[in-house]
Structure 1
């Protein structure tokens, strides 16, 4: 299948903002992370702009130093279920961890969301990297990095097996005969594995799009291989176009090695575009955002990335501290990227913190400038689309009103939704039910 001619766009629901100080902006609603009306408004704007999906990030552990949005926010499935009732086309993607949940519950939650939304659910599969999460779930230690990915592979197999419990046609509901279900089309899973033992069947029928769309955000070696083997969409981080090109080429080559069609795997870096009436106006808006931040913001980013390690204990102008051993078992992709930059440029702690506090990115400018950058990344193989953060209040509206029409005029983005399900938007086929496939193969033999 050929690569999609259209850029894919998602919007991340990040309430009071993605950094430590976004919430201080005069126009920011300090209650946005737990405001249904705020998210309803953003969802309506993104759907008006024909975005592919909304995305809810998550983690299960906080400290007093966590960023404001993560200190106080909705649980993903809850807010997405509410938004399912006020939207009609846009996809709804939630983050749920395999390290601190059970496959049966997660399969049921996402199947329910898919039914509630008419086939618009997506699951961002994460393994949880913050070590102190274990203490919130009656566990004494956090699984090691490689073990977490082994858990994830088995977990995903179990969830998909549960989603296949019901074949199409299993729900008979024949009032005249009194038959509610066809027992030949309802299947137990009877999974017995290294980490999970799950009987099944799932207590909700096959969903409108067969199975929710699978997202993953792997950037470490284990994460890239897991994503290339299992994911349909990868949410990644690419500070430059060149890094985006390298990542896309790598994971799609891995996907091909696993026997997959790489054009059925979409790689979407997260970006925070700042749109102004002109390039100069956009730069002024960026400076407005940067003025809210501080060195302490950058130290907060570092702390979170390195498993809540306290970077405030070090001299800011000394060489970056030796913390590689911490990065190996935390957010491995983020820590390795930072450490590579430190080694390449001999950076001090202050320099690293400053970069993290006020990331500018490539997408700051007039509507035409931002559209040009999006087109260049897309056409030059650095991205199949983008997950949009809103760095300043009102930027989503500006993007929809000013950038989207340019992309549409250039034939790079849809004018209308292609169908009613999330898979239809992405051009992904519905996974065939394993039991129906076996029945078909047996009939053909």
Structure 2
């Protein structure tokens, strides 16, 4: 272990149904119906737990990506949230067939209500014995608006203002009950101590929520809060409320800049630098030899249909239609700013201009990792780069995005993780029972308990 950093990597397994490559569902070994196949997810979850992953990460959208007019391209891909489980329901099932791995579900603050989210994640934390986490996001998919009585998407700034208040309400509801509020004393005839119930009585710009939450305080105190996003608003939200941040940087320099920026913001919220784990996405294609890894990647690239590639770019660039331009011509310079994911559009266009890519080259460049860090190589080659970013203060760990499922995850567990363990970079056994314990995060003390301790 290099001097100056004595901790170990944290690893998430980002379980996109058939895999993260945009053509993964066409791979000969892919489970084509993965999105609605519980047996498939059970296998993946147990594989990840065998590899000692900290957590399973589930993305979500409450609407398909792409407008109804784009059905030709949408019908050729399995990566647009067309046919897959609602994640909290899925993770509740996976909690019963795993024992240690954390369970992270994405739930948007844009088209949900705080009470629903607080209740669902508190329930998942109880079901799993303290392994739940909420990936707090705002909706970047404009198509979701049409499923919730809106003709247009909520503006980016408004989404984040709502998200900040949303997070405050959810965490407040998780503190409705003190840890020992429920005595369930049959002899005395008292189910709970009314003095240990605390109504939230929140009134703000976006929400009015009295409480109480009708679920006991979660085993972790609060389920772990994850945040995904790299825009200025996203970084501010993460520094204020997140304990894990899922982000995307392509270069070591960019990763170091992001890492330092977010960690430096924590002090203004009275937080320690270790209270937030930064876990960028990584798309590893692992082979026993470099040529084997390249063959695996080239097979996936050969399966990308041009219509799918263009739709991928449109989704990442805020709905911009590039089909009117020559595929082998340059990416236009004057793409308008989006109300979708600003950080992802900026990353995409920066990549195209930095490497002088054509439209076809750009969609092939992001067809696998979709803007995240992509490495094709042997376990030693990939471990070298992971080690450099970890010790170079570019990450506390990584959210691993297997190229196809289940084979891509099998490669990571069977080939890459043993190399990371050999170097002392990753655990050989779980440290604790809860996700907080394994991530090295403190359990939140109930505010009433903290007040009594301060008074004493």
**TM category, shorter:** over 0.9
2:12 to 10, 25, 43: 10
Is 1:298 matched up with 2:299?
no
Shift of 1:12: 1.1
Q: Distance in 1 between matches of 2:303 and 2:340?
A: 28
Is 1:59 matched up with 2:71?
no
- TM-score w.r.t. length of structure 2: 0.92
2:45 to 33, 43, 46: 43
Provide the residue aligned with 2:436 in structure 1. Answer: 423
Is 1:374 matched up with 2:376?
no
Specify whether residues 378 and 208 from structure 1 end up closer, same or farther in structure 2 by C-alpha distance, changes over 3 A only.
same
Specify whether residues 420 and 35 from structure 1 end up closer, same or farther in structure 2 by C-alpha distance, changes over 3 A only.
same
Is 1:189 matched up with 2:200?
yes
Specify whether residues 3 and 106 from structure 1 end up closer, same or farther in structure 2 by C-alpha distance, changes over 3 A only.
farther
Shift of 1:338: 2.1
Contact 2:283 2:400 (8 Å CA) reproduced = yes
Is 1:433 matched up with 2:446?
yes
Q: Distance in 2 between matches of 1:27 and 1:318?
A: 34
Alignment of 1:213-292 (within 5 A): 213-292=224-303
Specify whether residues 319 and 363 from structure 1 end up closer, same or farther in structure 2 by C-alpha distance, changes over 3 A only.
closer
Provide the residue aligned with 2:366 in structure 1. Answer: 356
- TM-score w.r.t. length of structure 1: 0.94
Specify whether residues 114 and 432 from structure 1 end up closer, same or farther in structure 2 by C-alpha distance, changes over 3 A only.
same
Contact 1:293 1:358 (8 Å CA) reproduced = no
Q: Distance in 2 between matches of 1:289 and 1:406?
A: 25
Match of 2:133, SS? strand
Contact 1:3 1:263 (8 Å CA) reproduced = no
1:24 to 20, 23, 26: 26
Contact 1:363 1:370 (8 Å CA) reproduced = yes
Q: Deviations over 1:281-340 (max 9, x none)?
A: 21221212221124433312111123333321333344433564342x111101112233
Provide the residue aligned with 2:343 in structure 1. Answer: 333
Q: Distance in 1 between matches of 2:241 and 2:6?
A: 20
Provide the residue aligned with 2:109 in structure 1. Answer: 98
Equivalent pairs counted in the alignment come to: 441
Q: Deviations over 1:106-153 (max 9, x none)?
A: 000000000000000000001101222111011233221111111000
Q: Distance in 2 between matches of 1:308 and 1:223?
A: 20
Specify whether residues 408 and 17 from structure 1 end up closer, same or farther in structure 2 by C-alpha distance, changes over 3 A only.
closer
By relative contact order (CA 8 Å, sep 6+), the higher-ranking structure is 2
Contact 2:18 2:35 (8 Å CA) reproduced = yes
Contact 1:4 1:263 (8 Å CA) reproduced = no
Shift of 1:213: 0.4
Specify whether residues 331 and 323 from structure 1 end up closer, same or farther in structure 2 by C-alpha distance, changes over 3 A only.
farther
Match of 2:183, SS? strand
Contact 2:177 2:197 (8 Å CA) reproduced = yes
Specify whether residues 203 and 128 from structure 1 end up closer, same or farther in structure 2 by C-alpha distance, changes over 3 A only.
same
Contact 1:20 1:300 (8 Å CA) reproduced = no
Alignment of 1:49-128 (within 5 A): 49-62=51-64, 63=66, 64=71, 65-66=73-74, 67-69=77-79, 70-128=81-139
Shift of 1:166: 0.4
Is 1:390 matched up with 2:402?
yes
Q: CA RMSD in A?
A: 1.9
Contact 1:119 1:420 (8 Å CA) reproduced = yes
Shift of 1:55: 0.6
Give the unaligned 5+ runs of structure 2.
none
Q: Distance in 1 between matches of 2:268 and 2:341?
A: 26
Give the unaligned 5+ runs of structure 1.
none
Contact 2:242 2:276 (8 Å CA) reproduced = yes
Provide the residue aligned with 1:212 in structure 2. Answer: 223
Contact 2:45 2:94 (8 Å CA) reproduced = yes
Match of 1:28, SS? coil
Is 1:403 matched up with 2:405?
no
Match of 2:428, SS? coil
Specify whether residues 169 and 426 from structure 1 end up closer, same or farther in structure 2 by C-alpha distance, changes over 3 A only.
same
